[in-house]
Amino acid sequence: MTEDIRILYRDEALVCCIKEPGLLSEDPGLPSVIGQQLCIQDIFCVHRLDREAAGVMVYALTRTAAAAMSVSFSPQGDAEKTYLAVISGSMEAGDGVLTDLLFHDSRKNRSYTVDRMRKGVREASLSYSVLAERNDRTLVSVRLHSGRTHQIRVQFSSRKHPLLGDRRYGSSINCPLALWSYSLAFDHPVTGQRLSFSYPPPDSFPWKDFGEVISRLSQNERTY
């Protein structure tokens, strides 16, 4: 990378920053970049984001903080993650829950919806809300109830609504993957204080088509 990453917050226990598309969320990706930029060595990954996706991420800076935050960001934990995505077409319902059985093929690094439980298959569930529609494209906010590989991408794609730019899962649009980690909320691993961080996606296609909606969303977001 030629530019420093954006740091939203840092203390002795954690650092919150913006991941750029194309970077791995684990070593040798973003943690290495953070370490070089901040001149620190111990950086622990407590949640993940697809390489092609971007947005808000948080890392622990001590083993004790990492243990606490890993519990918080587990499916049974109390951390809240909100994503924004631009999908093709229109959803039938303005709000809903999508539940599927997913199988991840590690050799192809691709997930599939399947119709029955078997070895390697796991249930995946998410909630979505439609925020706006423009030119046969829809901006949705997403909350995950489970954390499966490529979950948001494959669950919408399986309903013929691939995320824009997601050629792996059926999009024909040439743009960066339209998946943005918009906000994180979790308890501080040392003080217990509830922290909330949010950051809007860039003002570029396809996000710029929904600029006013995203701006209003950001104005209403409480950020630590």
**41: phi then psi, degrees, rounded to nearest 5:** -105, -45
Residue 183 resides in a domain: yes
Provide the CATH number for the domain around residue 198: 3.30.2350.10
pLDDT band at residue 186 under the 50/70/90 scheme: very high
Residue 89 resides in a domain: yes
Which residue shows structure tokens 């590690």? 106
pLDDT band at residue 224 under the 50/70/90 scheme: very low
- Sort 218 into a burial class: Cβ within 10 Å, 0-12 / 13-18 / 19+: middle
Instruction: Please check the confidence at residue 181 and state whether its pLDDT lies above 90.
Output: yes
pLDDT band at residue 218 under the 50/70/90 scheme: confident
**What is the model's pTM?**
0.94
Residue 1 resides in a domain: no
- Residues 95 and 141: their CA atoms lie apart, in Å, by 10
pLDDT score recorded for residue 219: 77
Q: What is the pLDDT of residues 110-125, one digit of tens each?
A: 999 999 999 999 999 9
Q: Which one of the listed residues 50, 100, 136, 187 is annotated catalytic?
A: 50
CA distances from 41 to 36, 48, 93, 147 (A): 8, 19, 47, 27
Number of domains in the chain: 1
Residue 84 resides in a domain: yes
Residue 2 resides in a domain: no
8 A C-beta contact, residue 151 and residue 48? no
- Residues 151 and 22: their CA atoms lie apart, in Å, by 18
pLDDT score recorded for residue 221: 64
Average pLDDT value over all residues in the chain:
94
pLDDT score recorded for residue 75: 86
Residue 22 resides in a domain: yes
Residue 119 resides in a domain: yes
Q: What is the pLDDT of residues 61-108, one digit of tens each?
A: 999 999 999 999 998 899 999 999 999 999 999 999 999 999 999 999
Residue 25 resides in a domain: yes
Q: What is the pLDDT of residues 125-157, one digit of tens each?
A: 999 999 999 999 999 999 999 889 999 999 999
CA distances from 186 to 111, 133, 190, 203, 206 (A): 28, 30, 12, 27, 29
pLDDT score recorded for residue 1: 45
**Residue 50 annotated as catalytic:** yes
**Residue 194 lies in domain:** 7-220
Tell me what percent of the residues of the chain surpass a pLDDT of 70.
Answer: 96
Mean pLDDT in residue range 51-56: 98
